[in-house]
Amino acid sequence: MKNVKIPHQSKIAGVINSFNEFVTNRTEKHFFRRYHGFGISRSVLQILRKNNIQKIILIYEKDNKKKLYRARVRDFYELGKEYKFKDDKQLVLNLGYFKKDS
């Protein structure tokens, strides 16, 4: 797969890049303070698993600065916390489980 957009609820959740990684963008409004991390919808995670995508790159933008976080899909399943936002079931992974690039 190369640069395939992954849809979710009439939006684009992210893109599968040429390295077979799921790349998604997040802003401060996406940060889960309760779990000190970021969530990904279960339906998106299922698409990633089905297509054998194992790595997630999350680009977090805050105060006009970008930080890069890396995790594995299985980290969300094994270490993530369940969260339901309206009808969207998500798994939220604490920042401590991500690898951070500058």
Q: Which two tokens stand for residue 40?
A: 């990904």
pLDDT of residue 4: 82
Name which of 24, 35, 93 is nearest 61 in CA terms.
24
For 5-20, the pLDDT digits (tens) are 887 877 889 999 999 9
Domain that holds residue 43: 4-101
Cα–Cα distance, 89 to 61 (Å, whole number)? 24
Q: Which two tokens stand for residue 45?
A: 């995670």
pTM higher than 0.85: yes
pLDDT of residue 59: 96
- What does each C-alpha distance from 11 to 6, 31, 101 come to in angstroms? 9, 18, 26
What is the number of structural domains in the chain? 1
pLDDT of residue 25: 94
Q: How many residues in the chain? A: 102
pLDDT of residue 69: 97
Which residues are within 8 A (CB) of 74 and not within 5 positions of it... i.e. 6 or more apart?
54
Sites in the chain below the pLDDT cut of 50:
none
